[in-house]
Amino acid sequence: MPDLVARVADAIRQHHLLTAGQAVVVGVSGGPDSLCLLHVLHTLSPVLSVALHAGHLHHGLRGAEADADADFVVQLARDWGVPVHVDYADVLALARTQRQSIEEAARCARYLFLARLARQVGAPTIAVGHNADDQTETVLMHWLRGAGLAGLRGMLPRTPLADYRLEAAATPSGTPADEHLAGIELIRPLLGVTRAEIEDYCRRHGLHPRLDRSNLDTTYFRNRLRHDLLPYLETYNPNIREILRRSAEVIAGDYALLRQQLEVAWPQIVRSESPSAVVFDLAAWRHLPLGLQRSTLREAVHRLRRSLRNINFEHVEGALTVAAGGETGARATLPQGLELTVGYDTLVIASHAYSPPLPDLPLLTSEDVIPVQVPGDTWLPETWWRLRVDLTAADAVQPGSGWTATLDAAYVGTTPRLRRRRPGDRFRPLGLGGRSQRLNEFMINAKIPAAWRDYVPLLVNDADQIAWLCGWRPDERARVTAGTRQVVRLRFERRE
């Protein structure tokens, strides 16, 4: 077995890239990398017991040259007895529609085509020809753009295709991208092979790859890096390519350890998780080491948006600062329509329009004003809660707290009501010496979660004055004094 073929076979075994008996789709552009990949896998297919399918996407960008590329791949695959599938994408139109670069639109279209093909032929795996020099360029590109540990790992030998954010507009009409991507893995068998070794392999085996002239166009960032920056860096250190690859391997190991710690910490800090919001326990999150604080914020964004695109260092650090030291109600804006909010004892990452579910407390979900039976029971609409009211003599007073209160019947009046807060509401909270305070100001100071404030019941008297901010504080004027003749005893009860 030739040396390069043996190395690829070793990589396949080491990273568990393929399983005997499976089908695999091979992305073939016609260039040296994909041509080498198809030839090596075709050579190994009897040993690996895998069924190959070649896939080629015409990007609609290079006219007759692209037509010739497609014809070349079709003829080559047929000569080797490999089933071949060709499709066409208008990448320029996709780039305009999705507001992407041509490079990004082409990548999305290509991967979605290969994913559809994998679904069609029952293949759980797509093989692509990324090589060791591509890895070097990717790592350096991520360094220049300011990536974190995940990005500085570069490309991995195997990656779930669903980890990539591929725009749904690049799929056939009416078919969500997720349906194509789930359960399919992208593998890179040539990741340990240099471009020079691939070109030498093609020469020795009489392979004549197609030349994509766009790879020489230095208006593209990756091409400038490949043809200008890396050769310049080699004048400082001839081994720069290998150094960058080794650094990526070390970082990948460190990142794997961080992921293990994240998987342990995640269930310990998450109170709830849904497609629209991730809610952390604030105290537990603040006790995490800094590295895990960053990782949990990024993980929350990834789970909500399936991508970390456009999430840069400044976004994470800004959110981290607010989360670590912000008061209740503090917010940080994140890309992709997300927002971080510090609650009384929670940390919420959600879309701007997110409304957290209300707790199982006696809250008013209706805007109706509700007459209160005195004495008697008053049920809160659309809840399992009732307000039970008793009248007692002043000498039978029992102290109230929380959702129970003991008030002066004269101030409560004969026709008390429950309602929600209104603009301009004020009361005199018990314990402030009779000083009047805006209701909203009191709610903030009392750390009532912002999402609850519109729903906390107010017990008001005949004159619509607040006698009790239910669950929190009575009005000073409603307190029981030596002159109180009759007492109203109020308590919220849940029907079990």
Same domain, 189 and 50: yes
Give which of 37, 32, 236, 2 is closest to 125, Cα–Cα. Answer: 37
Kindly state whether residue 326 falls inside one of the protein's structural domains.
yes
Same domain, 382 and 343: no
Report, in angstroms and rounded to the nearest whole number, the Rg of the chain calculated over CA atoms: 33
Helix (H, G, I), strand (E, B) or coil at 381: coil
Please give the share of the chain, as a percent, with pLDDT higher than 90.
Answer: 70
Q: What is the pLDDT of residues 35-76, one digit of tens each?
A: 999 999 999 999 999 999 999 999 888 888 889 999 999 999
Please name the residues in contact with 409: beta carbons below 8 A apart, sequence gap of 6 or more: 391, 484, 485, 486, 487, 488
Same domain, 378 and 335: no
Kindly state whether residue 247 falls inside one of the protein's structural domains.
no
Judging by beta carbons within 10 Å of its beta carbon (0-12, 13-18, 19+), is residue 300 exposed, middle or buried?
Answer: buried
pLDDT recorded at residue 180: 61
Kindly state whether residue 241 falls inside one of the protein's structural domains.
no
Same domain, 444 and 296: no
pLDDT recorded at residue 103: 83
Kindly state whether residue 126 falls inside one of the protein's structural domains.
yes
- Band of residue 172 on the pLDDT scale cut at 50, 70, 90: very low
Predicted confidence (pLDDT) at residue 1 exceeds the cutoff of 60: no
pLDDT recorded at residue 119: 94
Q: What is the pLDDT of residues 269-317, one digit of tens each?
A: 999 999 899 999 999 999 999 999 999 999 999 899 877 777 788 889 9
Predicted confidence (pLDDT) at residue 341 exceeds the cutoff of 50: yes
Alpha-carbon torsion (118, 124, 127, 128), positive or negative: positive
Q: How much is the pTM?
A: 0.72
How many CA atoms, within 13 angstroms, populate the side-chain half-sphere of residue 437? Answer: 21
Place of tokens 């020795």: 204
- Band of residue 379 on the pLDDT scale cut at 50, 70, 90: very high
**Quick one: tokens of 47?**
């040993």
Backbone angles phi, psi at 111, to 5 degrees: -65, -35
Place of tokens 């342990």: 264
Q: What is the pLDDT of residues 380-425, one digit of tens each?
A: 998 999 999 999 887 765 666 789 999 999 999 999 999 999 999 9
Kindly state whether residue 240 falls inside one of the protein's structural domains.
no
Kindly state whether residue 361 falls inside one of the protein's structural domains.
no
**At 143, which helix (H) or strand (E)?**
helix 132-145
pLDDT recorded at residue 37: 98
Domain boundary among 316, 351, 386: 351
- Band of residue 171 on the pLDDT scale cut at 50, 70, 90: very low
pLDDT recorded at residue 215: 77
pLDDT recorded at residue 74: 96
Kindly state whether residue 242 falls inside one of the protein's structural domains.
no
Predicted confidence (pLDDT) at residue 188 exceeds the cutoff of 90: yes
Gap between the Cα atoms of 118 and 125, Å rounded: 7
pLDDT recorded at residue 177: 52
Which of 154-168, 419-433, 438-452 comes out lowest in average pLDDT? 154-168
Gap between the Cα atoms of 124 and 316, Å rounded: 34
pLDDT recorded at residue 136: 95
Alpha-carbon torsion (218, 220, 226, 232), positive or negative: positive
- Band of residue 175 on the pLDDT scale cut at 50, 70, 90: very low
pLDDT recorded at residue 478: 95
Gap between the Cα atoms of 131 and 199, Å rounded: 11
- Band of residue 2 on the pLDDT scale cut at 50, 70, 90: low
Q: How far is CA 87 from CA 70, 117, 164, 462, in A?
A: 9, 10, 21, 76
Give which of 35, 47, 36 is closest to 10, Cα–Cα. Answer: 47
Gap between the Cα atoms of 209 and 205, Å rounded: 11
Gap between the Cα atoms of 214 and 218, Å rounded: 9
Range of the domain at 485: 370-494
Domain with 341 in it: what CATH number? Answer: 3.30.465.60
Same domain, 78 and 224: yes
Which of 173-182, 252-261, 326-335, 402-411 comes out lowest in average pLDDT? 173-182
Domain with 122 in it: what CATH number? Answer: 3.40.50.620
Average pLDDT, the chain: 90
Q: What is the pLDDT of residues 458-481, one digit of tens each?
A: 999 999 999 999 999 999 999 999
Give me the residues paired with residue 419 across strands: 458
Q: Would you give the distance in Å from CA 54 to the centre of its chain?
A: 33
* For range 213-234, the mean pLDDT: 87
Domain boundary among 176, 211, 234: 234
Helix (H, G, I), strand (E, B) or coil at 422: coil
Same domain, 338 and 374: no
473-474 vs 338-342, strand pairing mode = unpaired
- Band of residue 211 on the pLDDT scale cut at 50, 70, 90: confident
Is the model more confident about 130 or about 164?
Answer: 130
Backbone angles phi, psi at 178, to 5 degrees: -55, -35
Q: Is the peptide bond before 399 cis (omega within 30 degrees of 0)?
A: no
Residue 242 near residue 273, CB atoms below 8 Å: no
Same domain, 318 and 375: no
* For range 147-164, the mean pLDDT: 88
* For range 112-117, the mean pLDDT: 94
Q: How far is CA 288 from CA 78, 176, 182, 293, 343, in A?
A: 57, 37, 32, 6, 18
Backbone angles phi, psi at 465, to 5 degrees: -90, 140
Same domain, 112 and 33: yes
Same domain, 343 and 393: no
Same domain, 422 and 382: yes
Domain boundary among 234, 253, 280: 234
Kindly state whether residue 356 falls inside one of the protein's structural domains.
no
Same domain, 57 and 135: yes
Same domain, 315 and 218: no
How many domains is the chain partitioned into structurally? Answer: 3
Residue 230 near residue 136, CB atoms below 8 Å: yes
Predicted confidence (pLDDT) at residue 174 exceeds the cutoff of 70: no
* One-letter identity of residue 253: G
- Band of residue 178 on the pLDDT scale cut at 50, 70, 90: low
Provide the 10 A C-beta neighbour count for residue 345.
14
Which of 140-144, 159-163, 193-197, 232-236 comes out lowest in average pLDDT? 159-163
